[in-house]
Structure 1
Amino acid sequence: MNFDYLNHPYASQRTTTFAKNGMVATSQPLAAQAGLDILKKGGNAIDAAIATAACLTVVEPTSNGIGGDAFALVWTKGELHGLNGSGPAPKSISIDAVKEKGHESMPTFGLIPVTVPGVPGAWAELSRRFGKLPLTEVLQPAIDYAEMGYPLSPVLAKYWNAAYEKFKEMFTTDEYKPWFDTFAKEGKAPQVGDVWKSQGHADTLRSIAETNAESFYRGELANKIDQFSKEHGGFISKEDLADYKPEWVQPIKVNYRGYDVWEIPPNGQGIVALMALNMMKGYELTEKESVETYHKQIETMKLAFADGKKYVTDPEKMSVSSEQLLSEEFAQTRRNLIGDVALTPEPGTPPSGGTVYLATADGEGNMVSFIQSNYMGFGSGIVIPGTGIGLQNRGHDFSLDPTHENALEPGKKTYHTIIPGFLTKDNEAVGPFGVMGGYMQPQGHAQVVMNTVDFNLNPQAALDAARWQWMEGKKVLVEPSFPAHIAQALARKGHQIQVALDGGGFGRGQIIWRDPKTGVLAGGTESRTDGAVAAW
């Protein structure tokens, strides 16, 4: 890569950050600094990723928590490893059981959509396999922030308050009271600069650190989750927790113009980004700010999502394989559908046969792409009393149609939106990247990769460039900075273009690239949030 680091049309108040010894990029400055402190204490990039992730459960609870899921791509000693830290549906749940409670579709909030949390197990497993420092030391910065408190940053306060205003109207029954006790202690959401702390959160993190997460899955914390679930008619139990372990998986990739783009395989939706790129590489892109470039990007993403939503679920339950979905033959048949006007996407037939993201790197060449989430901001709205554990609502994505690929089944993993990305070239690490934000994530991944590979943008410019987001049918949202003349031309091609004034839906990304010759790190962070790159 030969980026123009000084002269580019997407400049913001931030510039690309350079360092040699280590780097942490994430959406909250305190968490980034916590990861850097661990690097300076002798930890590696894996230790830094765990520290940053744990810290984010405290300093950005609007997007993730101890009761969520996590995925990681870890580059170490010349190899890329994938960790799937998502949990399954409880063993006692079923379509009939949910319908007996009066639901015709999976509810969004409450105990019913709660699946087994994978976050604590992911931290412990990453530490066990690749970490240098004990988990007690790595989680200490997060414990300190939970115990002593920290002042809220602007974007964090915005989303916290929005959640409170929504929840106070919706959450009127007893099972939601612990959420307000934890996150709205004074009868309101904390504001910018207010100091928030949670002793229960600190105690939970300390217990996880001292037991390598055993207390969460087979100890005191598991018992508390089980008890609260039983009291309020939930399905998740201590037996579900005891049976859980994160899973090491083989990452999947496509080669895009000489670069290998890597994602976690299903049940994650990273394959959607790869399918879109697999179609896009059949086109010659001459310039970024071109109607034809954007038209093809949008059309390929629509087709990739149609296929992803039809086929992606628990990999043991999928009717087609990742290899089939990423085959050149399938990419060509889907590409052949793209013409000069916007289409309404339908899934094809393959050939037979609210989230936080962080990136870390150290001076030894280790790099981590890590993402964790409670889903939809605070998740289910369920907090286990006195623990700070906010449980995710990932089961909301299950279908109650028994014929659907992603139909709810006991012990099954659902289609998962959170995805870490990684880029390599000629078997050398280029580095981790990611864009959090629900169904924006594979769209953000594809846009960042194309900005980097096709248009030679440096990390910060690749993140700052105006984004688009396909929603459904022919509806496409664009940011206010998106070129108006191109938006108008896309509308003439049949795209239903809408300018979104609130930029929160376009994702929040981080990038760290490494020069293989010098080891110099170049990092970019999201200008759409309180993002920061900490480096030395």
Structure 2
Amino acid sequence: MNQDYLHNPYPSQRMTTFAKKGMVATSQPLAAQAGLDILKKGGNAVDAAIATAACLTVVEPTSNGIGGDAFALVWMKGKLHGLNASGPSPKSISIEGLKEKGMEEIPKFGWTPVTVPGAPSAWATLSERFGNLPLTEVLAPAIEYAENGYPVSPTLGKFWKSAADHFKKALTTDEFKHWFDTFAPEGKAPEIGEVWRSEGHAATLREIAETKAESFYRGKIADQIDAFSRKYDGFIRKEDLADYEPEWVDPIGVDYRGYKVWEIPPNGQGIIALMALNILKGYEFTSREDADTFHKQIEAMKLSFTDGLHYVTEGRKMERSVQGLLSDTYAEERRKLIGEQALQPEPGEPPKGGTVYLATADGEGNMVSFIQSNYMGFGSGLVVPGTGIALQNRGHNFSMDPDHDNRLEGGKKTFHTIIPGFLTKGDQAVGPFGVMGGFMQPQGHLQVAMNTIDFHLNPQAALDAPRWQWMEDKKVLVEPNFPNHIAQALARKGHHIQVALDGGPFGRGQIIWHDPETGVLAGGTESRTDGSVAAW
């Protein structure tokens, strides 16, 4: 890509990491090292991804857990595979039933937003199809950290304390007691540098490893989830877990300036990044540090996000086709709406028809883009007693409007925020990339992809570059180091620019690029968190 790997114009001043035999990039050094250790034991990129993902449930519980969902893009032996391991709502839930209980919207916490967790199935399924090592060996590092403990890192400690302080006020009834027993055992979050452990978490990971996740969906762990749900009048039942299987899917992609940018198809929001890139490929950009560049990026993302929030839900229940949303004809229609001033977005009419991210690569050219989450930090606030399983609250994204495409229905997958990305050129893999962080994710994907392809930034600089996030209407957040003169120019174009002085929700990303001629791997990690690239 003709990148200047020695130059990083942004404040972190981290350098791109190079290696040849293997690489793991993620938001926690201990998890990255766990994945690298698995590579050194003869595991491949998939084994490393599973080890890292399982380890992240222990060493970054503020963003993900055993009770969350996962997605993966896997480049294996020259082909890209997609895995959707997001779970559906319980079969017994309905809009009518919730309204009878007096609910007009789906709450963030408690049993109502809990959906079937898909992450354990992702680990087992990936291991079974592509792994070199047994799952018991791959999950061993995570089990060790859960059993014997680890010292809490700085960014983790900050978010853990914030969650605990909020939960003390918000989660006061009996069903939430087990969260505090697990994650605030002495009445507070562990301090930075303090050792935290969870024997229940270790026992659950061990059982998942030994049964290849069968226990979680059809055995002892499923019984524990079912009993906890019944005790507090929850909706999820063992039958919901037993009926669940992750889905192998065909990745979707768009051509962008000689590259192909890939995402998982809906119910994920990756299509939003692709729609925006499809609009933007109709322009020529000569400089990243230009108000017109940012203006067009924001407008394209605004239009695409508005469509995504309106139309995206479980793929088989979408009333507009993926092909229609990604068609060049529709992109041209949306592009015509972009002028010199910020617009108020409305959905178009296409043709009918807290998260962790990690990237791994091995010395054989195999690579994995993997993401998992409990959503909104710790998720629902519910922890299955004695197991360490923090249950996700992904159902909060459903609409209670019976006419909305993403309306709540029993046994349905909701619009999903977590998305892995992948880049190819011709028939060669360039590599995995991703930016975690709720609705920032497709916006981060767009910015990282353009930083790489349009502006020729190396992996570390592509991640370190100041970010923006469209929020709603004409409101746009920018980072404190976002150029002030550009922010002012955007304001003159009608954007409502706000500087996020507290750091803001700008996501946390990882990149690994692969040179097919030399086999050299080039990795970047997130300067906005405790990011790490472990390389061999």
TM-score by length of 1: 0.99
1:224-373 maps to which residues of 2 (within 5 A)?
224-352=224-352, 354-373=354-373
CA-CA distance at 1:252 after TM superposition: 0.1
* SS at structure 2 position matched to 1:132: coil
CA-CA distance at 1:502 after TM superposition: 2.0
Deviation string for 1:355-407 (max 9, x for gaps)? 00000000001000000000000000000000000000000000111000000
Tell whether the 8 Å contact from 1:504 to 1:528 is kept in structure 2 after alignment: no
Corresponding letter in the other structure for 1:67: G
Q: Distance in 2 between matches of 1:444 and 1:339?
A: 23
Question: What residue in structure 1 maps to residue 112 of structure 2?
Answer: 112
1:60 aligns with 2:60: yes
Question: What residue in structure 2 maps to residue 407 of structure 1?
Answer: 407
Question: What residue in structure 1 maps to residue 160 of structure 2?
Answer: 160
CA separation of 1:306 and 1:196: change in aligned 2, threshold 3 A: same
Q: Distance in 1 between matches of 2:11 and 2:492?
A: 29
CA-CA distance at 1:454 after TM superposition: 0.2
Question: What residue in structure 2 maps to residue 482 of structure 1?
Answer: 482
Question: What residue in structure 2 maps to residue 17 of structure 1?
Answer: 17
Corresponding letter in the other structure for 2:147: E
CA-CA distance at 1:351 after TM superposition: 2.4
CA separation of 1:373 and 1:353: change in aligned 2, threshold 3 A: closer
Question: What residue in structure 2 maps to residue 426 of structure 1?
Answer: 426
Q: Distance in 2 between matches of 1:197 and 1:339?
A: 54
Q: Distance in 1 between matches of 2:160 and 2:351?
A: 46
Question: What residue in structure 1 maps to residue 46 of structure 2?
Answer: 46
* More displaced 10-residue stretch of structure 1: 269-278 or 92-101: 92-101
Deviation string for 1:81-133 (max 9, x for gaps)? 00000000000100111112221011110011000000000000000000000
Question: What residue in structure 2 maps to residue 449 of structure 1?
Answer: 449
* More displaced 10-residue stretch of structure 1: 98-107 or 232-241: 98-107
1:508 aligns with 2:508: yes
Q: Distance in 2 between matches of 1:507 and 1:496?
A: 20
Q: Distance in 2 between matches of 1:99 and 1:47?
A: 45
* SS at structure 2 position matched to 1:503: coil
Tell whether the 8 Å contact from 1:357 to 1:370 is kept in structure 2 after alignment: yes
CA-CA distance at 1:11 after TM superposition: 4.9
* More displaced 10-residue stretch of structure 1: 501-510 or 404-413: 501-510
* 5+ residue gaps, structure 1: none
* More displaced 10-residue stretch of structure 1: 499-508 or 146-155: 499-508
Q: Distance in 2 between matches of 1:191 and 1:134?
A: 35
CA-CA distance at 1:316 after TM superposition: 1.2
* SS at structure 2 position matched to 1:505: coil
* SS at structure 2 position matched to 1:235: coil
Tell whether the 8 Å contact from 2:114 to 2:393 is kept in structure 1 after alignment: yes
Question: What residue in structure 2 maps to residue 26 of structure 1?
Answer: 26
Question: What residue in structure 2 maps to residue 388 of structure 1?
Answer: 388
1:145-224 maps to which residues of 2 (within 5 A)?
145-224=145-224
Q: Distance in 2 between matches of 1:503 and 1:273?
A: 23
Q: Distance in 2 between matches of 1:61 and 1:295?
A: 36
Q: Distance in 2 between matches of 1:363 and 1:132?
A: 14
* SS at structure 2 position matched to 1:324: helix
Q: Distance in 2 between matches of 1:150 and 1:479?
A: 32
CA-CA distance at 1:353 after TM superposition: 5.1
Corresponding letter in the other structure for 1:25: A
Q: Distance in 2 between matches of 1:504 and 1:239?
A: 40
Quote the sequence identity (%): 76
Question: What residue in structure 1 maps to residue 79 of structure 2?
Answer: 79
* SS at structure 1 position matched to 2:313: coil
Q: Distance in 2 between matches of 1:353 and 1:184?
A: 48
CA separation of 1:399 and 1:353: change in aligned 2, threshold 3 A: closer
CA-CA distance at 1:308 after TM superposition: 0.2
Q: Which runs of 4+ in 1 moved over 2 A?
A: none
Corresponding letter in the other structure for 2:339: G
Q: Distance in 2 between matches of 1:9 and 1:29?
A: 24
Corresponding letter in the other structure for 1:397: N
* SS at structure 1 position matched to 2:451: helix
Corresponding letter in the other structure for 2:186: E
Q: Distance in 1 between matches of 2:485 and 2:8?
A: 20
Corresponding letter in the other structure for 1:138: V
Deviation string for 1:166-193 (max 9, x for gaps)? 0000111010000000000001110100
Q: Distance in 2 between matches of 1:253 and 1:442?
A: 13
* SS at structure 1 position matched to 2:505: helix
Tell whether the 8 Å contact from 2:58 to 2:145 is kept in structure 1 after alignment: yes
Corresponding letter in the other structure for 1:179: W
Tell whether the 8 Å contact from 1:81 to 1:251 is kept in structure 2 after alignment: yes
* 5+ residue gaps, structure 2: none
Tell whether the 8 Å contact from 1:11 to 1:461 is kept in structure 2 after alignment: no
Tell whether the 8 Å contact from 2:18 to 2:520 is kept in structure 1 after alignment: yes
Tell whether the 8 Å contact from 2:514 to 2:522 is kept in structure 1 after alignment: yes
Q: Distance in 1 between matches of 2:401 and 2:410?
A: 14
CA separation of 1:8 and 1:261: change in aligned 2, threshold 3 A: same
CA-CA distance at 1:283 after TM superposition: 0.3
Tell whether the 8 Å contact from 1:24 to 1:360 is kept in structure 2 after alignment: yes
Tell whether the 8 Å contact from 2:319 to 2:352 is kept in structure 1 after alignment: no
Q: Distance in 1 between matches of 2:504 and 2:152?
A: 18
Deviation string for 1:322-354 (max 9, x for gaps)? 110000000000000000000010000012451
Count of residue pairs the alignment pairs up: 536
CA-CA distance at 1:504 after TM superposition: 4.3
Q: Distance in 1 between matches of 2:468 and 2:146?
A: 36
* SS at structure 1 position matched to 2:75: strand
Deviation string for 1:52-92 (max 9, x for gaps)? 00000000000000000000000011100000000000001
Structural RMSD (CA): 0.6
Tell whether the 8 Å contact from 1:114 to 1:391 is kept in structure 2 after alignment: yes
Tell whether the 8 Å contact from 1:329 to 1:351 is kept in structure 2 after alignment: no
CA separation of 1:8 and 1:153: change in aligned 2, threshold 3 A: closer
Q: Distance in 2 between matches of 1:373 and 1:305?
A: 21
